[in-house]
Amino acid sequence: MYDVMFVCSAGMSTSMLVERVKKEAEKAGVEMEVYAMGESEAKKNLDKPQVILLGPQVRYMEFAFKKMLEGTDTKLGVIEMRTYGMMDGAKVYSQIAELLGL
């Protein structure tokens, strides 16, 4: 089972995208827990996920998250603005799969 955390401003705007990514994982036969958190809560829960994806609205925190994740195996990515805006679950799932090496 893979654990994937999305980070956004408040943790709520990504809920639709989370559901779409879960459906893509199911189609691919991959067990994946996908959830969203606001940035302050996410910083307290960095030990659990194998992948952390930042929403485009918090892209500016990429460097800070890289520093916090140094020395861990957690992969970090940023969701493209267009992909996020279109709520493209398939494309985000592909990004996660690539980060995990699936």
Q: Is 8 a catalytic residue?
A: yes
Average pLDDT over residues 78-84: 95
| Residue 15 pLDDT | 84
CA dist., res. 57 & res. 5, Å (int): 15
pLDDT surpassing 90 at residue 9: no
DSSP 79: -
Give the C-alpha separation, 22 to 41, whole Å.
21
* Predicted structure pTM score: 0.92
Asked whether residue 98 carries a pLDDT value surpassing 70, the answer given is yes
Q: Which domains does the chain have, with CATH numbers?
A: 2-96 (3.40.50.2300)
Cβ proximity of 55 and 82 under 8 Å: no
> What is the C-alpha to C-alpha distance for residues 8 and 94, in angstroms, rounded to an integer?
19
Instruction: For 30-77, write each residue's pLDDT tens digit.
Output: 999 999 998 889 999 999 999 999 999 999 999 999 999 999 999 999
> Count of CB atoms within 10 A of residue 19's CB?
12
Residue from 8, 37, 53, 54 carrying the catalytic annotation: 8
Task: Let me know: does 59 contact 77? Beta carbons within 8 Å.
Answer: no
